[in-house]
């Protein structure tokens, strides 16, 4: 742990989150006054599968990779939790061990609320139950869309959709005419793990898009040159 204080810019990240900002001022105050910050280097574990559910958490900086490793050693990435997003509430709510591993992606800061404080907040603010149900409902909807994508879309369309998603959210560029870098720096291997495909197949799709002038592959980022063309690739399957 480097620093337990919540910096002003980190507080702003939390306040901009649509779900958290929908909570009552009293509830938000109660959450933040009990919270503390931990900071991690790239690749450091936040928690591992089977760990007790100690904390409710929100990403403040960097990202948190949620995934697992198979018995053969293959890494599987389910999602990246980005700044402003809350996670870990399922385990702290039902008290069961963590189901997946969580690692820092880049220089990462995480806001934590200890489980006993989380339960006290639930008792003091019964309306949080409904707010958490709405949060879970939005995640289930997203999960259903992902399952549909895997069964309906080609890998080319899934790559395009993932790049479109990575261009949105905190830190995403607002203009439409200039080249835009995806906001989460992922290697081609990491992108392949996220898409559930081999690195070779994902590389082929990226190279094809680069040849068509849709993207430009750089050493540390993918630059989107034609957002409209990227959307058309996705919509051609959708």
pLDDT at residue 50, rounded to an integer? 92
Tokens of 2: 């480097």
pLDDT tier at 169 (50, 70, 90 boundaries)? very low
What are 20-26's contacts with CB under 8 Å, separation 24+? Answer: 20/58, 20/84, 20/86, 22/131, 23/128, 23/131, 24/125, 24/127, 26/125
pLDDT at residue 200, rounded to an integer? 93
Report residue 185: phi and psi, to 5°.
-75, 110
What does the pLDDT look like over 18-61, one tens digit per residue?
999 999 999 999 999 999 999 999 999 999 999 999 999 999 99
What does the pLDDT look like over 64-118, one tens digit per residue?
999 988 778 878 888 899 999 999 998 998 899 998 999 999 999 999 999 999 9
Single pTM value for the model: 0.82
């Amino acid at each position: 742990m480097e620093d337990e204080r919540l910096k002003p810019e980190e507080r702003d990240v939390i306040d901009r989150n649509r779900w958290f900002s929908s909570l009552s001022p009293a509830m938000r105050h109660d959450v933040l006054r009990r919270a503390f910050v931990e900071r991690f280097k790239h690749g450091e574990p936040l928690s591992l599968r089977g760990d007790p559910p100690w904390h409710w958490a929100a990403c403040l900086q960097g990202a948190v990779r949620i995934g697992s490793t198979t018995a053969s050693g293959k890494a599987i990435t389910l999602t990246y939790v980005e700044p402003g997003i809350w996670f870990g509430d399922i385990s702290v709510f039902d008290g069961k061990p963590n189901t997946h591993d969580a690692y820092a992606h880049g220089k990462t800061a995480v806001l934590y609320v200890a489980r006993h404080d989380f339960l006290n907040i639930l008792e003091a603010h019964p309306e949080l139950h409904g707010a958490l149900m709405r949060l879970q409902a939005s995640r289930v909807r997203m999960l259903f869309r992902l399952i549909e994508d895997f069964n309906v879309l080609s890998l080319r369309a899934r790559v395009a959709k993932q790049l479109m998603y990575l261009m949105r959210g905190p830190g995403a560029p607002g203009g439409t005419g200039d080249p835009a870098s995806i906001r989460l720096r992922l290697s081609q291997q990491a992108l392949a793990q996220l898409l559930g495909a081999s690195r070779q197949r994902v590389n082929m799709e990226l190279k094809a898009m680069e040849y068509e002038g849709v993207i430009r592959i750089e050493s540390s980022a993918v630059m989107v040159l034609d957002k409209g063309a990227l959307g058309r690739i996705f919509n051609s399957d959708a």
